[in-house]
Amino acid sequence: MRASIQNNIRTIYLLGFFHSFMVVIPVFVPLLQGYGLSMSQVLQTQALFALTIALCEVPSGYLADLWGRKQAILVGSCLNAAGFLSLLWADTFVDFLLYEFILGLGFSLISGADLALLYDTEVHLSERGLPGGAGAGKSLSRLIAIEAGASGIAGITASVLLLWSLDAVVLVQAITGIAPLCLALGLVEVPRPQVSGGHRGNAKRILELLLFGKPVVLWTAFAIAVFGLLAVYVFWAYQKYWEVQGIPIGHFGYIWAAFAITVSVSARYASALEQRIGTGQVLCLIGVLPLVGLLGMTAFAGWSGVVFGFAVQLARGLSMSLFYEALNRRVPGDFRATVNSLVSLAVRAVFIVTGPLLGYALDAVGVRSTLLLLVVVFAPLIAIVLVPLLLRIRREEQSEEPRVAPAG
């Protein structure tokens, strides 16, 4: 039993790798455009993906807390496998909508449950003095780094497969999409306090935790939502940007790989950087980097503009690692998956409405004007969430400092 629980960590790392090993993503925009879809339609497929997750994210996270993380991950992996297999015959707008709907169901079940199970496993091993864990914070950083690394490897693989055709990319995606289902069978549920009480009472407890619990929890959730939303926008603008800059499609995968490796490295060493330069300086870096990156992409053409995209990826890795660790450390285990799902829901809910608008802007006013618009919108939002977050972190640290008894 203990050995199986210890194996959870390695299994979740592998699950994270294969969930992120999506060779179709670096060339997804050219793939859909090859079937006659416009950028507006491409972003509509992503809006449906976001809508599906928005409707299922919180219920699936709650089910993971209620019935078990393993079951949620297992069912989600099964749906993802079915979704990737559906790509083999997809060739119309409706087919790609169906693909995104199935993936939305699968990812909503996995989202939050994998992080919660990893954190539960680390806490379980630590409390019992068992070997096998690196610590909850380090494990979360490693998982994010592994997922980003897998995305990078997928990018290189996609570029190599393009030597044959886009169909080869789709075929490999369908085959590798089955791997998480096999891995999920080996997971073991960690003993933990079970969610009790009525659903209404549990919902009240979750809202009280977010709104009236530790202030850092709420503002960390806001920060994850803002930076997550910015990352999604830039994510779908990249490929169109590269196309406009005249970058050959055969290079897309390599650029994607370099970006993913940047996220992986920055996430892996985010905690060490915070300890070295301090929380305030790291938060400033996280806030400034994506704005510098977007402005550089608009100001420079060709490969020079592409290079500025690395600044956005650096901020992505740092923010994901530090914010998710801070959130999960302050959330009790019985509702950890639900809270993680709620945070993801915030990003998806906004993208449902704004995703197609982003696609329309890319078609109507061009990539550079759209990127400048993102700077105008997100510069104040970043300040609004980071300044209060830093203030509340410092207050929390001051309140937790041991008081020294007066002499005499």
Task: Flag whether 194 is in a domain.
Answer: no
How far is Cα 55 from Cα 270, in angstroms, rounded to an integer? 32
Would you state the structure tokens that stand for residue 283, as one six-digit string? 């938060």
- Hey, CA dihedral for 67, 71, 73, 76, is it positive or negative? negative
| pLDDT score recorded for residue 2 | 47
Residue 96's pLDDT is: 92
* Domain-located, residue 337: yes
Cα–Cα dist 198/401, whole Å: 37
On whether residue 408 sits in a domain, the answer given is no
Please state the domain count of the chain: 1
Give 246-259 pLDDT, tens digit per residue: 888 888 888 888 88
- Position 198 scores a pLDDT of 45
CATH of the domain at 76: 1.20.1250.20
C-alpha 36/C-alpha 100 separation (Å) is 17
Say yes or no to pLDDT of 325 above 80: no
> For position 3, what pLDDT does the model report?
46
267 within some domain = yes
Domain-embedded: residue 326? yes
| pLDDT value of residue 82 | 93
pLDDT in the model for residue 407? 39
State the pLDDT at residue 111: 74
Residue 195 belongs to some domain of the structure = no
Separation between Cα atoms, residue 114 and residue 281, nearest integer Å: 30
Is residue 142's pLDDT more than 60? yes
pTM beyond 0.75, yes or no: no
Its domain, for residue 265, covers: 2-188+201-400
Tokens at 150, concatenated: 């897998």
Could you report the per-residue pLDDT of 365-405, keeping only the tens digit for each? 888 999 999 999 999 999 988 888 888 777 766 665 554 44
Please report whether residue 193 resides in a domain. no
The residues, ordered by sequence, that sit 6+ positions from 371 with a Cβ below 8 Å of its Cβ are 234, 237, 241, 294, 297, 298
Give residues with Cβ within 8 angstroms of 400, minimum separation 6: none
Q: Which residue has the higher pLDDT, 46 or 286?
A: 286
Q: What's the rounded mean pLDDT across residues 157-177?
A: 88
- Pairwise CA distance, residues 313 & 336, whole Å: 27
pLDDT in tens, 26-78: 888 888 888 888 888 888 888 888 788 777 766 666 666 666 778 888 888 99
Q: What is d(CA 184, CA 232) in angstroms, rounded to the nearest whole number?
A: 27
Average pLDDT over every residue of 293-309: 91
Q: Is 321 exposed, middle or buried (0-12, 13-18, 19+ CB in 10 A)?
A: buried
Provide the mean pLDDT of the chain: 79
Decide if pLDDT at 311 tops 90.
yes
Instruction: Report yes or no on 280 lying in a domain.
Output: yes
298 pLDDT higher than 70: yes
pLDDT given for residue 372 in this prediction:
93
pLDDT digits (tens, 9 = 90+) for 94-115: 999 999 999 988 888 887 778 7
